[in-house]
Structure 1
């Protein structure tokens, strides 16, 4: 198969983002961190901001629901940068190789708040290597909504039959596959590299 495009997820594929890194500084025990992220500042709540709700509105709604946790709730976005662990170096190197090779277009499709994404752009220059990035918070929709994938395909005239999509989340992988986009679930940079070698997208090192 001749591939012309690769669509990357960003979080947990190229960028290690983990709210636990912040909340381990705030709470005394891992159990307290677990409880807060499972029952208060949940992934579902965060994803609503990823889909376009403002950080201020999301924060105030959660404070009203859990006033006893006001300080750690406000820290979620007030100290959001502390959740950025860093780049996932092995995947960044693969992205660099693909960029240098030059014959495959590189895109990113990410669930990310429009208000925090500029922080990542400032922190990680490799985000400039993409030929296009579609950010959920800017578009008011997110993965796994089919229209979000279709938006990228249409905006950049991407041929889905010649495209590989990589994401760590199986929910997002299944949604892309249902749209006819070949998809692989990211686990490690090494495993992703093997896929690229086996498919002839990159040449295996001698």
Structure 2
């Protein structure tokens, strides 16, 4: 008897086939990686083919792999990760695609496949700087329109580049360089023998 996860893996292999760069079955979840050139076609097939029938995009997010875990990351820096749901089959699938160019990360937009991708893609653009080819309204969604940079990139400074404040003289909000002094917090170490013991 095959498990539900094995059935999903067989169905995904039947639909996507050779277009899968890698497939990982871990912790009760299935993750596939596809190339940016095949991404849009794969996602359409996963939605339209009866073997998989992923009717819903339940999440889409950007990722910055410039540093990952304890090791140095080998490979492309930016990825888009999508989570799909098939109500018909009661399946979930994670699909990851890495942008081909780290300096100008671009992947295809899924707005025409699942309209729910609209704000998710805007968020990934705003926070990571990932561009979505074919998105008709790609603009910032969480940060201010005058914001410089993409705050979820791992090389973005924690304090940012500019701060805004209300200027009483000009009677408006103004931007200025960050005035926060960088400091290093050293945690206090408690060395009592019976600490926490009742």
Confirm or deny a common fold (TM above 0.5).
no
Structure having the higher helix fraction is: 1
TM range (shorter): under 0.3
Larger Rg: 2
Structure having the higher strand fraction is: 2
What's the TM-score, normalizing by structure 2? Answer: 0.26
| Structure having greater relative contact order (Cα 8 Å, sep ≥ 6) | 1
